[in-house]
């Protein structure tokens, strides 16, 4: 379904793949500081941190899939079908609808630590956006340049986990995803040594055999392991171009091609878009299944003090550079 990763060189980067069989008509959306958020169960917020991310805009409201605010705090929601259970509205708590969760946190929190404080007061409820757009079953990653956490609401309440790998996919719950990494403790980017038997001679006949056993299928458990291994062993230059190039390669390790994941007869899940946001500078980079050219929107080149959304269409169609 989806994969999120964090990455840090000189700046902090946050991004995702969004894997699905169709698009809702997504736009790169900047929510400026004075856009009024009308929360369903809380007071209206008319002044807040600006944010940028990918969203489906419905009724002039940004339904963000992923976003970063002007302070460098980033957040994304990923499918968690069958496990996500939201709470009922509770008197005396900050009742926030599932679709409001990203703007609620990013509008007022500058760091993960501040987000944790907000989560302790919050009650995540299942109020739908509309009849046509019911509540999605999601879990979330919240990250800044220093740390990341995973947030999951289940039958037994809200769970907040430290996320030391800075990676999130889908099912199963995060604790299980982290535990399964133990199965791959022997993987290495280095060539393997013979530990099988000193009585036998072996030939490491190919480069890359240190990672033999790294899962290659498209399941969420395999994607979690693969992108965690790729990210944790990643090395790049520190320039902006080197950093974003490497980030797209990290998420490219879990790219989904049309035809490999059939969801219904003749319909296939694909990587609709891959994003990489420089959270330190507020620049949102992305490419799509139909357009591998990296495009970008810089939130600081917009009017962040206005009170209306600023939306940019997702650019489609391959842009091929002929050299002769």
Predicted pLDDT of residue 195 = 87
Mean pLDDT of 38-47: 93
Predicted pLDDT of residue 150 = 98
Q: pLDDT tens digits, residue range 240-282?
A: 999 999 999 999 999 999 999 999 999 999 999 999 999 999 9
Q: pLDDT tens digits, residue range 161-199?
A: 999 999 999 999 999 999 999 999 999 999 988 889 989
1 has pLDDT over 90 = no
Mean pLDDT of 4-19: 97
Predicted pLDDT of residue 131 = 87
Q: pLDDT tens digits, residue range 58-105?
A: 999 999 999 999 999 999 999 999 999 999 999 989 999 999 999 999
SS3 of the chain = CEEEEEEECCCEEEEEEEEECCCCCCEEEEECCCCCECCCCCCCECCCCCEEEEEEEECCEEEEEEEEECCCCEEEEEECCCCCCCECCCCCCEEEEHHHHHHHHHHHCCCHHHHHHHHHHEEEECCCCCCCCCCCCEEEEEECCCCEEEEEEECCEEEEEECCCCEECCCCCHHHHHHHHHHHCCCCCCCCCCCCCCCCCCCCCCCCHHHCCCCCCCCHHHHHHHHHHHHHCCCCCCCHHHHHHHHHHHHHCCCCCCCCCEEECCEECEEEEEEEEECCCCEEEEEECCEEEEEEEEHHHCCCCCCCCEEEECCCCCCCCCCC
Q: Which residues pair with 58 in a beta bridge?
A: 61
Residue 316: CB atoms within 10 Å: 11
Please tell me the CATH code under which domain 2-181+234-313 is placed: 3.60.60.10
d(CA 96, CA 77): 15
Instruction: Name the band, by pLDDT with cuts 50, 70 and 90, for residue 19.
Output: very high
Predicted pLDDT of residue 168 = 98
pTM of the full predicted structure?
Answer: 0.95
Q: pLDDT tens digits, residue range 105-164?
A: 999 999 999 999 999 999 999 999 998 999 999 999 999 999 999 999 999 999 999 999
Q: pLDDT tens digits, residue range 198-245?
A: 899 998 899 898 899 999 999 999 999 999 999 999 999 999 999 999
Query: Exposed (0-12), middle (13-18) or buried (19+): which is 13, by Cβ within 10 Å?
Result: buried
Interior angle at CA 151, CA 158 and CA 98, nearest 5: 80
Residues 16/25, Cβ–Cβ less than 8 Å: no
Residues 162/211, Cβ–Cβ less than 8 Å: no
Q: pLDDT tens digits, residue range 277-290?
A: 999 999 999 999 99
Predicted pLDDT of residue 199 = 92
List residues with catalytic annotation. Answer: 2
Domain chopping of the chain, boundaries: 2-181+234-313
């Amino acid at each position: 379904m989806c994969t999120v990763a964090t990455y840090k060189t000189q700046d902090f980067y946050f991004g995702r793949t969004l894997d699905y069989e169709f698009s809702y008509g997504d736009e790169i959306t900047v929510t400026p500081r004075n856009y009024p958020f009308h929360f369903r169960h809380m007071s209206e917020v008319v002044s807040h941190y600006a944010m940028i991310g990918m969203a489906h805009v419905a009724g002039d409201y940004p339904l963000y899939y992923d976003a970063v605010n002007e302070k460098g705090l980033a957040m994304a929601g990923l499918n968690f079908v069958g496990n996500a259970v939201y709470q009922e509205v509770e008197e005396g708590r900050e009742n926030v609808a599932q679709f409001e969760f990203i703007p609620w946190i990013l509008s007022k929190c500058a760091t993960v630590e501040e987000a944790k404080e907000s989560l302790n007061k919050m009650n995540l409820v299942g109020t739908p956006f509309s009849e046509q757009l019911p509540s999605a079953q999601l879990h979330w990653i919240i990250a800044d340049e220093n740390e990341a956490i995973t947030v999951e609401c289940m039958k037994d309440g809200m769970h907040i986990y430290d996320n030391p790998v800075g990676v999130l996919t889908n099912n199963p719950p995060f604790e299980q995803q982290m535990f399964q990494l133990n199965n791959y403790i022997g993987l290495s980017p280095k060539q393997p040594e013979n530990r099988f038997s000193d009585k036998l001679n072996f030939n490491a006949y190919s480069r890359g055999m240190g990672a033999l056993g790294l899962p290659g299928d498209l399941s969420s458990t395999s994607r979690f392991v693969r992108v965690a291994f790729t990210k944790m062993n990643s090395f790049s230059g520190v320039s902006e171009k080197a950093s974003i190039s490497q980030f797209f390669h990290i998420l490219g390790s879990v790219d989904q091609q049309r035809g490999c994941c059939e969801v219904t007869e003749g319909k296939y899940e694909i990587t609709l878009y891959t994003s990489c946001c420089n959270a330190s500078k507020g620049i949102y980079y992305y490419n799509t299944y139909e357009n591998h050219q990296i495009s970008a929107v810089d939130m600081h080149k917009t009017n962040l003090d206005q009170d209306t959304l600023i939306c940019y269409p997702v650019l489609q169609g391959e842009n091929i550079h002929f050299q002769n």
